[in-house]
Chains A and B, each alone.
Chain A
Amino acid sequence: MKIKEDGATKWFRFIAYVVVLTGSVLCLLPFLLIISASLTSNEEIVREGYNLIPSSFTLDAYKIVFMFPEDLLRAYGVTTFVTIVGTAIGLLLMTMAGYVLQRKDFKYRNFFSFFIYFTTLFGGGLVPYYMLITNYLKFGNTMNALIWPSLMTPFLIILMRSFIHSAVPDEVVESAKIDGANDFVIYYRVVLPLAVPGLATVGLFLALHYWNDWFHSALFINDTAKYQLQFYLYNIINTSNFLNSIGAGAGVVLSGPVPSESMKMAMAVVVTGPILLLYPFIQRYFVKGLTIGAVKG
């Protein structure tokens, strides 16, 4: 049987569709522009600006990008490695932290929760951070500098804690204890399997963070072989920005290749393309993970 819709519902639907449609068109347009620009010749772009449909179709930009793909592939490799290793270690550490912080028999749990939370509000700033990483931990110019600093995020730890708190009832932990399981076994055999949706959410957040990170490359890495993908892209754009912004008085003339407008766009497509294609498949976990634990019942 079909429920008859009254006028108001119809109108609501109509408006909702219009809003969502415009929203998604607005989101898609920039991507279309990038793709179209990457297929246009550079002079065309400078002369006539960006067009939704390339006025003169050419693959030149891609040819240049792929003429020496080693750098690009290496950057892909670094980012993939850092993302996988970082997410794996990060998940392990954060689930353990979250689990411990929600155990009622942990006396100082509030103190430590507050301590972790506190770091989101107050930080030492860039200079002490830089000194910590390079002078004390000696991570400068190594993969360590790309992986370690992002392993534990206060927000994600707190998310994990409340998630475990709501997904794993105390009684389950208690009964496991009666069965003779020690704390680590409880964590490993009982809590983790129950917390899978939470793991997916936190893991996605973390993986995205690692994938999009360029800042740590910018600060700590000197070796071109260890540049992250996003930094590789960002730096290309920054090089041409620098050339435009530096005054004539500085007399800087760079002899190396300066990327053209269309080449920048081709790079952007090559770099962001794969993760964009992946997004629709993993996106549902996001929604699920975020709403799980929101309602207690």
Chain B
Amino acid sequence: MVGKQKKVLHLFISLVLVLTLLAACSNNSKTNNEPSPAPSKSTTTEGTNAEGNESSISGIDTSERVELQFYMLGNAPKDLDKVEAQVNEWLLEDLNATVKFNYTTWTDWDQKYRLLLSTGQDVDLIFTAEWTQYQQYAKNGAFMRLDELLPVAAPKLYEFVPQDMWEAVKIDGNIYTVPATYKEYVTGGFVWREDLRVKHNLPKPVDIETFEAYLAGIKQNEPNIQPLAVGQDVGATLEDAYLDFQRQRVGAMPYGLHASYSDPSNIVGYWGSEEHLTDLKRYKSWADNGYFSKNELNETDGNQDKLTNGTAAAMLSDNPTRYNSVLNQMKALHPDWDLAYHPYGLTLGYATPVHPIHNGFAVPKNSKKAERALAFYELMVTDKRYNLLTQYGFEDVNYTVEDGYYKMIGDNTTNGFVREAMNGWAWRNPEYMIFEPSYDGVEAIFNELDKIQVPDIYTGFAEDYTPYQAERAALEQVEKQYLYPLMAGLVDDVEDGLKTFMEKANQAGLEKIQESYKQQWLQYLQESGHN
């Protein structure tokens, strides 16, 4: 009798626990109720701040002292405490607030980012970018609508950022993030060892044919150097880069879809097509010719490192800024080596500057100090004291300015706050920015690209993948398992391999995903007037 009761009890408890488990799985993103009503009662208490300081005229209530929680990705610089103390000293006067700078580190940063936003943590400002899925988070209501709040809490900032940028970051017609105004290009370009090219009299890579000729020349003349560094992530370093150049793709579209920049509304399935087969055969020929290693999928060294250390002689694609930093590293190690760069844009005739979404700061929906947070962010961007301190550290302690150039004091290991140590990509202010002399090289490239600039029409698109979330995960697995080896040239019969991949991808639900994505994309193009 007792035993039976116990059994029933156990069964009951197990059931309850299983049920709670299921419940927890099904709606973890929707736990926070109703979209936030933007607090708009603030206009009444204009200028109540006792200090009567200039920057507090913005018309927000600063009577109560608050601590702002500021979240940025990456590692905290060594001297963050000192900078924070100084910022707080100013901030107490200006806004009757203090700020705590929190850093997520790069360990599981995406998971931490998600947890911070989905579990209602005390976060007042957080970094956003297209690679942190700003569009998706904004669409799902993780951030606060800033349209009404900005003119009230941060009028200067609202003025400072051009209107078309505010338009560009809008998701479903609302502003959710404050974009950075610094204009840069992160578009691709061929990178190669210029000294070797000159030494062996090889052609200058400006398109795939000349690039191949260069690789062949290296293979022939430099047996100890791998001509091309590809690395583990062949999807990005090979396919995305190749399509970006050869087929002028509008952006790194997922799920094997393709649309060209000139005709974005003509979106077609690329995977399994004739073009795909041709391209795969080309990668295969590179692998067969020994341009990159058979073991490339297991490579753990960075491509850039391989270039600076002389184990590889070219990269299919990199952006100007990173190319420049690799060049400088190489020059420091091997003064007699040289690197050169050819931006795709110069061959293609167009280049897209970064989309305003690329760097920004948003106020999470749960923040109770949104006004003060925005007012503080305004200071970070527009106030020279705040901006210089949080970007470059203390003048004469961390850096000096020589002939208008930034100069670090000490070196990377001894300086506690190197240039942009707080990863302040988003609050860069072009008016106050100071650069190292080596930046001149990047600027020259940027100036050239400026002449052919066209707007980025891909990044503003916010994909909603909730209708095909399960298929998406399955497809990702299939891609890694069947497509990556194909790209890395590990499958002997490319045609057959592609067939197998397509079969598995279709089983995983490729068609459903593509249909839904196409529909969303076309709708976006129509709404944004890009087609």
Inter-subunit contact A255/B421 (CB<8 Å): yes
Check if A249 is an interface residue, CB within 8 A of chain B.
Answer: yes
Inter-subunit contact B233/A251 (CB<8 Å): no
Most buried by B among A111, A224, A234, A247: A247
Whole-angstrom distance between the alpha carbons of A292 and B103 in the complex? Answer: 47
Check if A222 is an interface residue, CB within 8 A of chain B.
Answer: yes
Task: Take A250-B186, A251-B358 as given contacts and tell me if A135 and B120 are in contact as well, using a CB distance cutoff of 8 Å.
Answer: yes
Whole-angstrom distance between the alpha carbons of A55 and B209 in the complex? Answer: 40
Inter-subunit contact A219/B354 (CB<8 Å): no
Inter-subunit contact A244/B129 (CB<8 Å): no
Residues of B within 8 A of A261 (CB): 301
Check if B121 is an interface residue, CB within 8 A of chain A.
Answer: yes
Inter-subunit contact B418/A255 (CB<8 Å): yes
CB distance from A110 to the nearest CB of B (A): 7
Map CB proximity to B onto A217-245 as digits: 1 under 8 Å, 0 otherwise.
01100101000000100110011111111
Task: Take A111-B6, A235-B106, A239-B75 as given contacts and tell me if A127 and B17 are in contact as well, using a CB distance cutoff of 8 Å.
Answer: no
Whole-angstrom distance between the alpha carbons of A130 and B129 in the complex? Answer: 24
Inter-subunit contact A118/B413 (CB<8 Å): no
Inter-subunit contact A118/B120 (CB<8 Å): no
Inter-subunit contact B319/A249 (CB<8 Å): yes
Task: Take A114-B10, A122-B17 as given contacts and tell me if A46 and B301 are in contact as well, using a CB distance cutoff of 8 Å.
Answer: yes
Map CB proximity to A onto B160-182 as digits: 1 under 8 Å, 0 otherwise.
00000000000000000000000
Check if B36 is an interface residue, CB within 8 A of chain A.
Answer: no
Inter-subunit contact A242/B106 (CB<8 Å): yes
Whole-angstrom distance between the alpha carbons of A236 and B20 in the complex? Answer: 38
Whole-angstrom distance between the alpha carbons of A254 and B422 in the complex? Answer: 10
Inter-subunit contact B13/A219 (CB<8 Å): no
Inter-subunit contact A255/B121 (CB<8 Å): no
Task: Take A122-B18, A125-B21, A256-B77 as given contacts and tell me if A249 and B413 are in contact as well, using a CB distance cutoff of 8 Å.
Answer: no
Inter-subunit contact B302/A244 (CB<8 Å): yes
Most buried by A among B18, B25, B106, B412: B106
Q: In the complex, what residue of chain B is closest to A263 when comparing beta carbons?
A: B413
Those of A243-273 within 8 Å (CB) of chain B: 243-257, 261
Number of interface residues of A (CB under 8 A): 52
The residue that A240 contacts in the complex, of B9, B302, B412, B418, with Cβ under 8 A, is: B302
Residues of B within 8 A of A126 (CB): 111, 115
Inter-subunit contact B21/A124 (CB<8 Å): yes
Inter-subunit contact A110/B6 (CB<8 Å): yes
Inter-subunit contact B419/A219 (CB<8 Å): no
Interface of A is mostly: helix
Task: Take A114-B10, A122-B18 as given contacts and tell me if A130 and B115 are in contact as well, using a CB distance cutoff of 8 Å.
Answer: yes
Inter-subunit contact B188/A47 (CB<8 Å): no
Inter-subunit contact A248/B318 (CB<8 Å): yes
Stretch from B85-93, B136-144, B193-201, B304-312 at the A interface: B304-312
Those of B98-139 within 8 Å (CB) of chain A: 102-109, 111-112, 115, 118-121, 129, 131
Residues of A within 8 A of B25 (CB): 125
Check if A43 is an interface residue, CB within 8 A of chain B.
Answer: yes
Whole-angstrom distance between the alpha carbons of A261 and B311 in the complex? Answer: 15
Residues of A within 8 A of B109 (CB): 242
Check if A67 is an interface residue, CB within 8 A of chain B.
Answer: yes
Q: In the complex, what residue of chain A is closest to B418 when comparing beta carbons?
A: A255
Inter-subunit contact B119/A255 (CB<8 Å): no
Task: Take A46-B311, A111-B9, A122-B18 as given contacts and tell me if A64 and B115 are in contact as well, using a CB distance cutoff of 8 Å.
Answer: no
Residues of B within 8 A of A245 (CB): 232-233
Map CB proximity to B onto A38-78 as digits: 1 under 8 Å, 0 otherwise.
00000100110000000000000000100110010000000
Whole-angstrom distance between the alpha carbons of A115 and B16 in the complex? Answer: 13
The residue that B107 contacts in the complex, of A43, A124, A131, A218, with Cβ under 8 A, is: A218
Inter-subunit contact B129/A219 (CB<8 Å): no
Task: Take A111-B6, A127-B115, A134-B119 as given contacts and tell me if A250 and B309 are in contact as well, using a CB distance cutoff of 8 Å.
Answer: no
Residues of B within 8 A of A249 (CB): 131, 186, 188, 236, 240, 252, 319
Residues of B within 8 A of A247 (CB): 131, 233, 236-237, 240, 252
Whole-angstrom distance between the alpha carbons of A127 and B240 in the complex? Answer: 33
CB distance from A222 to the nearest CB of B (A): 4
Inter-subunit contact B21/A122 (CB<8 Å): yes
Residues of A within 8 A of B217 (CB): none
Whole-angstrom distance between the alpha carbons of A257 and B112 in the complex? Answer: 23
Residues of B within 8 A of A128 (CB): 24
Residues of B within 8 A of A110 (CB): 6
Those of A72-123 within 8 Å (CB) of chain B: 110-111, 114-115, 118, 122
Residues of B within 8 A of A254 (CB): 74, 423
Inter-subunit contact B107/A256 (CB<8 Å): no
Map CB proximity to A onto B333-352 as digits: 1 under 8 Å, 0 otherwise.
10000000000000000000
The residue that B305 contacts in the complex, of A46, A125, A234, with Cβ under 8 A, is: A46
Check if B59 is an interface residue, CB within 8 A of chain A.
Answer: no
CB distance from A73 to the nearest CB of B (A): 14
Residues of A within 8 A of B423 (CB): 254
Inter-subunit contact A244/B301 (CB<8 Å): yes
Inter-subunit contact B14/A118 (CB<8 Å): yes
Check if B385 is an interface residue, CB within 8 A of chain A.
Answer: no
Inter-subunit contact A253/B413 (CB<8 Å): no
Q: In the complex, what residue of chain B is closest to A258 when comparing beta carbons?
A: B412
Residues of A within 8 A of B80 (CB): 224
Q: In the complex, what residue of chain B is closest to A123 when comparing beta carbons?
A: B21
Inter-subunit contact B418/A218 (CB<8 Å): no
Residues of B within 8 A of A118 (CB): 13-14, 17
CB distance from B110 to the nearest CB of A (A): 10
Residues of B within 8 A of A239 (CB): 75, 105-106
Residues of A within 8 A of B419 (CB): 255
CB distance from B104 to the nearest CB of A (A): 8
Those of B227-260 within 8 Å (CB) of chain A: 231-233, 236-237, 240-241, 252
Residues of B within 8 A of A224 (CB): 76, 80, 103
Residues of A within 8 A of B512 (CB): none
Inter-subunit contact B28/A127 (CB<8 Å): yes
Residues of B within 8 A of A243 (CB): 302
Inter-subunit contact B6/A68 (CB<8 Å): no
Given contacts A135-B121, A248-B241, 8 further A-B contacts (CB under 8 A): A122-B18, A122-B21, A224-B103, A244-B302, A245-B233, A249-B131, A251-B321, A257-B418
* A-B contact list, 27 entries, CB within 8 Å: A46-B301, A46-B305, A46-B311, A111-B9, A115-B13, A118-B14, A124-B24, A125-B25, A134-B119, A218-B105, A222-B103, A234-B107, A238-B108, A241-B106, A244-B303, A248-B186, A248-B188, A248-B317, A248-B319, A249-B131, A249-B186, A250-B131, A250-B186, A255-B420, A256-B75, A256-B421, A257-B412
Interface residue ranges, A against B (CB under 8 Å): 43, 46-47, 64, 67-68, 71, 110-111, 114-115, 118, 122, 124-128, 130-131, 134-135, 140, 214, 218-219, 222, 224, 231, 234-235, 238-257, 261
Interface residue ranges, B against A (CB under 8 Å): 6, 9-10, 13-14, 17-18, 20-21, 24-25, 28, 74-78, 80, 102-109, 111-112, 115, 118-121, 129, 131, 184, 186, 188, 231-233, 236-237, 240-241, 252, 300-303, 305-306, 309-311, 317-319, 321-322, 325, 333, 354, 358, 412-414, 418-421, 423, 425
